[in-house]
Amino acid sequence: MANATGGPEIEQLIQLLSRLPGLGPRSGRRAVLHLIKKKEQLMIPLAAALDRAVAAVKVCDACGNIDTVSPCTICADPRRAETGLLIVVEDVADLWALERAGIGQVRYHVLGGVLSPLDGVGPDDLSIDKLLKRAPDYSEIVLAVNATVEGQTTAHYITDRLAGSGVTITRLAHGVPVGGELDYLDEGTLSQALKARTKF
Amino acid sequence: MANATGGPEIEQLIQLLSRLPGLGPRSGRRAVLHLIKKKEQLMIPLAAALDRAVAAVKVCDACGNIDTVSPCTICADPRRAETGLLIVVEDVADLWALERAGIGQVRYHVLGGVLSPLDGVGPDDLSIDKLLKRAPDYSEIVLAVNATVEGQTTAHYITDRLAGSGVTITRLAHGVPVGGELDYLDEGTLSQALKARTKF
Ligand SMILES: [Zn+2]
Ligand SMILES: [Zn+2]
């Protein structure tokens, strides 16, 4: 098949962009053509922003959040400790969704996934040991995992491991649709679900 | 609204990625988190590929194709002149689609759009003067513009401008669905449409 188009630099850029979630080979090509068309306004700023982000991005050693400092801005803010609430989420997208919902002065713990024996994800693959170490510093742990089978299995596992620690464990109120994913919910629903949280 | 997530480097990266076709604010955030998760395998290579592409990418002075050399690989290849065919396309995505279809040893001319008075796109905004200068070097000009109203208006305009030049003007055979866009067609349809091209 003849394909004399673009050259290796462009071909490689298409292949890498095609691997972003939501893009494929065809939309990857469109994205690259768009970038080249908007070279000054988009392509060059994006290249610079990526370089800066590569250099700056850090995973918070305490909570797993992504920031440019570690401990992250949330972990370093003493006001965040006042409510005594530690919100456990599956990934950073959920943390960002809750922050956008403006749920207040809380801290987070990012598990980095959920237990999934079929996918070979066990407790050691998640940030559970760190959570157990942090738990005594908080008065309440909210298990804000997705309302999926794996999410709920993970919530039960964490509850078992925290048994006897004396810390109150709650979960988000129903309001999170069954089978739904946190990151897809609107901000009002997320706020309501936190306010009406129930004992686990 | 509280939003202590990520820091300015990440926020800017999200905003720039959100401007790619097919992505929005939400998928832009997902893309950035995916990049950060795959920092070594994806984020760093993408940053490097973008830097290389920014430095290397050139728009071909002759035909408007995108390549790392100008004249582009297609314009510089003497075998491409043998058929005497010049394929006129709206944009580089269409050129790439035809090349993927393996339509043979042809040259291209990228218009850079179509005439669209409502959007303020006139003949001077397209690469039409260059096309008129190249036309005498070819035995046949195939107007492979989209089967949209604007595409057909543009084809008629070009045909008028080439009147009396003696060059044969053809268009792609029907087979291109009415109202359809070239870049969405499968390779077989594109090949067939070229083979059965008709006089304009
Ligand atoms: Zn943190
Ligand atoms: Zn060229």
pLDDT (tens digit per residue) in A18-39: 999 989 988 999 999 999 999 9
Please give the radius of gyration of chain A, using alpha carbons only, rounded to the nearest integer.
20
Match domain A77-171 to its CATH number in 3.30.360.10, 3.30.9.10, 2.30.42.10, 3.40.1360.10: 3.40.1360.10
Q: Which residue has the higher pLDDT, B172 or B50?
A: B50
DSSP-derived 3-state class of residue A135: helix
Q: Say whether pLDDT at A88 is over 70.
A: yes
CATH 1.10.8.420 fits B9-56, yes or no: yes
Per-residue pLDDT averaged across A163-183, rounded? 79
What count of residues does chain A have? 200
> What confidence score (pLDDT) does residue A195 get?
76
> What confidence score (pLDDT) does residue A2 get?
36
Percentage, residues of chain B above pLDDT 90: 66
Q: With an 8 Å Cβ cutoff, are B7 and A45 in contact?
A: no
> What confidence score (pLDDT) does residue B185 get?
76
pLDDT digits (tens, 9 = 90+) for B157-169: 999 999 988 899 9
Q: What is the mean pLDDT of chain B?
A: 88
Model confidence at B198, in pLDDT bands (50, 70, 90)?
low
Q: Tell me the chain B residues in contact with residue A42 when contact means C-beta distances shorter than 8 Å.
A: 16, 19
Q: Tell me the chain A residues in contact with residue B100 when contact means C-beta distances shorter than 8 Å.
A: 1, 3
> B130-137 long-range contacts, Cβ below 8 Å, gap at least 24?
B130/B62, B130/B64, B131/B88, B131/B158, B132/B161, B132/B162, B132/B165, B134/B62, B134/B63, B134/B86, B134/B109, B135/B86, B135/B162, B135/B165, B135/B167, B136/B165, B136/B167, B137/B81, B137/B86
Q: Name the minimum distance, in Å, from the CA of B194 to any CA of chain A.
A: 16
Tell me the CA–centroid distance for residue B54 and ligand 2, in Å. 19
For chain A, which residues make up each domain, given as ranges? Answer: 9-56, 77-171
Q: Say whether pLDDT at A4 is over 50.
A: no
Element (H, E) at B15: helix B8-17
Give a three-class secondary structure readout of A97-131.
Answer: HHHHCCCCCCEEEECCCCCEHHHCECHHHCCHHHH
ipTM of the complex: 0.78
Residue A85: strand pairing partners: A140
> What confidence score (pLDDT) does residue B140 get?
93
> What confidence score (pLDDT) does residue B2 get?
36
Q: With an 8 Å Cβ cutoff, are B10 and A68 in contact?
A: yes
